[in-house]
């Protein structure tokens, strides 16, 4: 496989990010979630939504040459000293090739992540094992899914000295 890189999102990435999220939803997440839920989520992740999201979070993309093959975001949380990881997707043909891990590592180098003491995320059924391998744990040890069949996970880390 050729070398891929992770960089900050640019507004002209929005259509590709939207497309890769929808492909992931239909080709991967559809194994664990009802068709209606997948269709609702896919409809919600249009390019306009991606642009709005990018104005509120630090969004990153993984690229192979000029093609976007993955994405992920870090956001500040209303709870003090907490960040959230959001919208982490990799094109299905790049699963298991280190792209997701590279995106997480980029998010974990982001200044918002480094300023926080813990990071939370909501993991799909499919992604729980991936996040566990990267040091994320089930929140309060609770391995039960919420009403949306998502699992709350957390990673505790030291804040950067100021």
Q: Using one digit for the tens of pLDDT, what is the confidence trace for 47-77?
A: 999 999 999 999 999 999 999 999 999 999 9
Output the CA–CA distances (angstroms, integers) from residue 36 to 8, 30, 33, 49, 80, in the order listed.
Answer: 32, 10, 8, 19, 35
Please indicate, yes or no, if residue 161 is contained in any of the structural domains. no
Please indicate, yes or no, if residue 111 is contained in any of the structural domains. yes
Structural domain for 77, as ranges: 4-156
Q: Is the pLDDT of residue 23 over 60?
A: yes
**Beta strand 137-138 pairing with 118-123:** unpaired
Number of domains into which the chain is organized: 1
Q: Using one digit for the tens of pLDDT, what is the confidence trace for 80-107?
A: 899 999 999 999 999 999 999 999 999 9
The enclosing domain of 83 has a CATH number of 3.40.630.30
Please indicate, yes or no, if residue 162 is contained in any of the structural domains. no
């Amino acid at each position: 496989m050729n070398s891929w890189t992770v960089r900050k999102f640019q507004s002209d990435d929005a259509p590709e990010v939207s497309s890769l999220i929808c492909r992931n939803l239909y080709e991967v997440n559809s194994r664990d979630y009802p068709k209606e839920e997948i269709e609702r989520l896919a409809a919600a992740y249009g390019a306009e939504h991606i642009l709005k999201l990018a104005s509120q979070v630090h969004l990153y993309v993984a690229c192979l040459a000029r093609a976007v093959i993955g994405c992920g975001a870090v956001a500040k949380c209303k709870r003090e000293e907490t960040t959230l990881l959001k919208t982490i997707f990799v094109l299905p043909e790049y699963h298991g090739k280190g792209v997701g891990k590279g995106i997480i590592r980029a998010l974990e180098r982001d200044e918002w992540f480094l300023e926080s003491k813990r990071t939370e995320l909501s993991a799909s059924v499919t992604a729980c094992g991936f996040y566990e391998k990267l040091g994320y744990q089930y929140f309060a040890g609770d391995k039960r899914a919420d009403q949306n069949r998502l699992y709350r996970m957390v990673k505790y880390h030291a804040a950067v000295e100021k």
